[in-house]
């Protein structure tokens, strides 16, 4: 067993390295007050406005004199929680509806899938903007808006995976021997769909984070003075030439986080589904 | 009355009869073999006996009696009671009948526990004992494996072990060896013969391999296009049959170096 554990790191380098980075990122968000040394991301001193990066403020300050480093670190809290919520909600709802749809087929399938089609027939971000616009600008509304346009993807995936095995002999055998619907769904349908769904969810974290940042950037997500990367980009846009650090650091934060989670998702795929390797 | 009596059944899918006027009887401890080419209705016959006709299939005429009980009147519950205990079936590919996301042991223990009220550990012990009786070495290893981790021959033996757990009186085997290589085929055939000798199990064996049928069966039924073309004991089919189709089937048995091992 000890031998096996040692080899796990060697055989799944990508997954392990980016897994550690992702954990560090999460720890950084959790212990933001420690990392920033107690600097408050929402209060600033106007005398310190728009200071370039230096020993006092390593990422510089914004137009309100707030420390960018603190805002980027605290921004990780907002972005990570929001992204994980979107993935969690759409993964949960999508998988559940998709598995039900594929298993029962018929009218249930038709209703769920037409609902999904309705969501898919709009460009994602535009529909999310509409939803966020109706609900009002707030980060939890942005989460809801993105989840509303994302769940059909999981539903369709789960449904197709279930349909693939629905008519297999072992499913017929289980039904013949008297298995109930709930049991069939939990023991037969879900386990068959789960690996692929988890891989999709893991690789989705990055792009959903981008979408949330985009909504905040457009003014439909986080509201000032919340430290959120998309919002920070939006606020820094006016000072792009005179104070580029306002955009560089939140932009880098998004870039690094998205890369970490995308690579982590790829690594996970190689472990769970080796067929697609290389 | 014989253990199994099939009287003049006609089985139809939709409006097309797939099997017409089929009759057979089977005594305890005997092996009967159905041979014929693909689509001749062999599988349909045993599926009708087991009450497992695929969607749309129906016995439209005739009766099936198992130990004096009229099987065609059975409902789902009654069927569940005798399937696995009184009669069981081995399929061509047992692997296809197993949930690939569950370990063999989990499926086997669940099977045992649907038929008797015992603890999971006891069921597992019973399963392992049964696997070892079917000549599967290290049964606990097999129980801890997923179906895809086992070879075709091992999976098939797991299927036989499952089918034989409750020593059913009748075993229906649907081409149990045709997905296997010759060596493994021979082992499985020998094992089924042992079942008959040790437990007095009656077997209906569906095969397109006349060699296996001739080796195992007391009675051979040759089917073609859904009807019985020829039947008789081994001696009759192999040496005294006047039927042209039986001769064709015999000629189709592969020979090695000019010698035919039938």
Residue B34 CA to its chain's centroid (Å): 10
Distance, in angstroms, between A153 CA and closest chain B CA?
24
Residue B219 CA to its chain's centroid (Å): 15
Contact indicator for A231, A217 with CB cutoff of 8 Å: yes
Whether the ipTM is more than 0.90: the answer is no
CB-nearest to B114 from A177, A188, A191 is A177
Give the pLDDT of chain A (278 residues) as one tens digit per residue.
Answer: 445 556 778 888 889 999 999 999 999 999 988 888 878 888 888 888 888 888 888 888 888 889 889 999 999 999 899 999 999 999 999 999 999 999 999 999 999 999 999 988 888 788 888 888 888 888 888 899 899 899 999 999 999 999 999 988 889 888 888 889 999 999 899 998 998 999 899 888 888 988 888 888 888 888 888 899 989 998 888 898 889 999 999 999 999 999 999 999 888 888 887 665 44
A176 touches chain B (CB under 8 A): yes
Whether A176 sits inside 8 A of B114 (CB atoms) is no
The whole-number pLDDT of residue B34 equals 93
pLDDT tens readout for residues B196-255: 898 889 999 998 888 888 888 999 999 999 999 999 988 888 888 888 888 888 887 776
Whether A188 sits inside 8 A of B99 (CB atoms) is yes
Take residue A204 and report the two structure tokens written for it.
């989705």
Mutate to test the interface with B, among A161, A164, A169 (most CBs of B within 10 A): A169
| Alpha-helix runs per DSSP H in chain B | 42-49, 76-82, 104-115, 120-133, 139-143, 152-164, 182-199, 210-216, 234-235, 244-252
A274 touches chain B (CB under 8 A): no
CA–CA separation, A39 vs B123, rounded Å? 62
The whole-number pLDDT of residue A173 equals 86
Chain B residue numbers with beta carbons less than 8 Å from the beta carbon of A173 are 97
Whether A169 sits inside 8 A of B114 (CB atoms) is no
Distance, in angstroms, between B185 CA and closest chain A CA?
23
Query: Is the CATH code 3.40.50.720 the one for domain B4-252?
Result: no
Nearest to B103 by CA among B140, B139, B145: B145
Total beta-carbon pairs less than 8 A apart between chain A and chain B: 30
Chain B residue numbers with beta carbons less than 8 Å from the beta carbon of A178 are 76, 80, 114
Contact indicator for B193, B166 with CB cutoff of 8 Å: no
Q: What are phi and psi of A107, to 5 degrees?
A: -65, -40
User: In the structure, what pLDDT confidence band is assigned to residue B260 with cuts at 50, 70 and 90?
Assistant: low
CB-nearest to A170 from B80, B84, B97 is B97
CA–CA separation, A256 vs B48, rounded Å? 63
Contact indicator for B8, B22 with CB cutoff of 8 Å: yes
Residue A63 CA to its chain's centroid (Å): 30
Domain boundaries, chain A: 72-273
Take residue B93 and report the two structure tokens written for it.
């590919």
Place of tokens 């001696």: B235
Nearest to A211 by CA among A139, A120, A115: A139
In DSSP terms, B6 is beta-bridged to B24, B64
A191 touches chain B (CB under 8 A): yes
pLDDT tops 90 at residue B124: yes
Find the mean pLDDT for residues B137-142. 88
Q: Which chain B residues have any C-beta within 8 angstroms of a chain A C-beta?
A: 52, 76, 80, 83-84, 91, 93, 96-102, 111, 114
Distance, in angstroms, between A170 CA and closest chain B CA?
4
Using a pLDDT cut of 90, give the percent of chain B over it: 40
CA–CA separation, A245 vs A211, rounded Å? 22
A175 touches chain B (CB under 8 A): no
CA distances from A123 to A146, A150, A220, B10, B55 (A): 11, 11, 16, 57, 42
Do the bridges between strand B31-35 and strand B57-66 make them parallel or antiparallel, or are there none, so unpaired?
Answer: unpaired
Nearest to A162 by CA among A115, A117, A101: A101
The whole-number pLDDT of residue A278 equals 41
pLDDT tens readout for residues B91-120: 888 888 888 888 999 999 988 998 889 999
- What DSSP element (H or E) covers A176? helix A169-176
Nearest to A126 by CA among A101, A145, A103: A145
Whether B99 sits inside 8 A of A169 (CB atoms) is no
CA–CA separation, B198 vs B204, rounded Å? 17
Considering the segment(s) A72-273 as one domain, its CATH architecture is: Orthogonal Bundle (1.10)
CA–CA separation, A74 vs B259, rounded Å? 84
Nearest to A245 by CA among A232, A259, A231, A227: A232
Chain A residue numbers with beta carbons less than 8 Å from the beta carbon of B84 are 177
Q: What is the CA radius of gyration of chain A?
A: 22
Strand arrangement, sheet containing B16-26: B16-26, B4-13, B57-66, B69-70
Whether B99 sits inside 8 A of A177 (CB atoms) is no
- What DSSP element (H or E) covers A99? helix A68-104
User: Closest chain B residue to A191 measured between Cα atoms?
Assistant: B101
Take residue B67 and report the two structure tokens written for it.
């130990």
User: Closest chain B residue to A192 measured between Cα atoms?
Assistant: B101
User: Closest chain B residue to A193 measured between Cα atoms?
Assistant: B101
Of the candidate ranges A263-277, B39-53, B166-180, the one whose mean pLDDT is the lowest: A263-277
CA distances from A240 to A37, A237, A247, A248, B44 (A): 28, 5, 7, 9, 77
Chain A residue numbers with beta carbons less than 8 Å from the beta carbon of B96 are 168-170
Distance, in angstroms, between B83 CA and closest chain A CA?
9
Whether A177 sits inside 8 A of B97 (CB atoms) is no
Mean pLDDT of chain B: 88
User: In the structure, what pLDDT confidence band is assigned to residue B21 with cuts at 50, 70 and 90?
Assistant: very high
Whether A170 sits inside 8 A of B80 (CB atoms) is no
CB-nearest to A169 from B76, B97, B114 is B97
The whole-number pLDDT of residue A275 equals 60
The whole-number pLDDT of residue A6 equals 64
Residue B176 CA to its chain's centroid (Å): 7
CB neighbours of B216 closer than 8 A, spacing ≥ 6?
B31, B33, B189, B192, B193, B203, B205
pLDDT tens readout for residues A86-95: 999 999 999 9
DSSP A51: P
Take residue B139 and report the two structure tokens written for it.
């049964």
Q: What are phi and psi of B221, to 5 degrees?
A: -115, 125
Domain boundaries, chain B: 4-252
**Residue B255 CB neighbours (<10 A):** 10
A192 touches chain B (CB under 8 A): yes
User: Closest chain B residue to A188 measured between Cα atoms?
Assistant: B99
Chain B residue numbers with beta carbons less than 8 Å from the beta carbon of A176 are 52
CB-nearest to B80 from A177, A187, A191 is A177
Q: What are phi and psi of B62, to 5 degrees?
A: 95, 175
pLDDT tens readout for residues B3-18: 999 999 999 998 889 9
Mutate to test the interface with A, among B91, B96, B101, B110 (most CBs of A within 10 A): B101
CA–CA separation, A269 vs A263, rounded Å? 10
pLDDT tens readout for residues B48-73: 999 888 877 889 999 999 998 999 99
């Amino acid at each position: 067993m000890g031998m096996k554990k040692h080899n796990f790191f060697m055989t799944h380098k990508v997954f392990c390295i980016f897994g550690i980075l992702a954990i560090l990122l999460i720890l950084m968000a959790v212990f933001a007050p420690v990392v920033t040394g107690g600097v408050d991301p929402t209060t600033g001193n106007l005398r310190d406005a728009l200071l370039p990066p230096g020993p006092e403020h390593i990422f510089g300050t914004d137009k309100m004199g707030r420390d960018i480093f603190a805002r980027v670190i605290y921004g990780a809290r907002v972005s990570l929680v929001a992204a994980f919520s979107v993935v969690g909600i759409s993964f949960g709802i999508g998988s559940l509806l998709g598995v039900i749809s594929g298993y029962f087929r018929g009218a249930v399938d038709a209703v769920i899938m037409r609902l999904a089609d309705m969501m898919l027939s709009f460009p994602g971000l535009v529909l999310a903007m509409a939803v966020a616009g109706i609900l009002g600008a707030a980060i939890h509304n942005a989460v809801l808006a993105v989840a509303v346009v994302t769940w059909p993807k999981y539903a369709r995936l789960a449904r197709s995976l279930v349909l693939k095995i629905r008519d297999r002999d072992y499913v017929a055998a289980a039904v013949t021997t008297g298995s109930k619907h709930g049991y069939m769904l939990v023991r037969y349908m879900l386990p068959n769909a789960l690996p692929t769904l988890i891989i999709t969810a893991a690789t989705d974290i990055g792009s959903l984070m981008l979408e949330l940042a985009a909504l905040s950037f457009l003014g439909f997500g986080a509201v000032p003075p919340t430290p959120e990367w998309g919002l920070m980009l939006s606020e820094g846009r006016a000072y792009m030439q005179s104070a580029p650090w306002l955009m560089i650091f939140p932009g880098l934060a998004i870039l690094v986080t998205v890369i970490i989670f995308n690579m982590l998702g790829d690594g996970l795929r190689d472990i769970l589904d080796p067929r697609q390797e290389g | 009355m014989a253990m199994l009596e099939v009287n003049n059944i006609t089985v139809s899918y939709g409006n097309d009869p797939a099997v017409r006027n089929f009759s057979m009887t089977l005594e305890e401890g005997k092996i009967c073999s159905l041979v014929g080419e693909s689509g001749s209705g062999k599988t349909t016959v045993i599926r009708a006996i087991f009450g497992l006709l695929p969607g749309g299939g129906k016995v439209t005429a005739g009766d099936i009696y198992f130990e004096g009980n009229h099987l065609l009147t059975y409902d789902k519950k009654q069927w569940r009671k005798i399937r696995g205990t009184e009669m069981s079936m081995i399929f061509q590919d047992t692997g296809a009948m197993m949930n690939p996301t569950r370990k063999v042991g989990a499926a086997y223990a669940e099977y045992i526990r649907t038929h008797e009220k015992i603890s999971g550990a006891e069921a597992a012990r019973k399963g392992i004992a049964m696997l070892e009786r079917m000549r599967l070495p290290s049964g606990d290893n097999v129980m801890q494996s997923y179906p895809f981790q086992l070879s075709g021959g091992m999976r098939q033996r797991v299927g036989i072990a499952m089918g034989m757990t409750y020593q059913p009186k009748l075993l229906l085997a649907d081409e149990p060896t045709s997905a296997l290589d010759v060596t493994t085929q021979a082992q499985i055939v020998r094992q089924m013969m042992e079942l008959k000798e040790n437990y007095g199990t009656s077997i209906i064996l569906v095969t397109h391999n006349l060699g296996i049928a001739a080796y195992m069966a007391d009675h051979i039924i040759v089917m073609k296009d859904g009807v019985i073309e020829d039947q008789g004991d081994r001696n009759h089919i192999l040496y005294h049959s006047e039927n042209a189709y039986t001769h064709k089937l015999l000629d189709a048995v592969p020979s090695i170096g000019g010698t035919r091992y039938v």
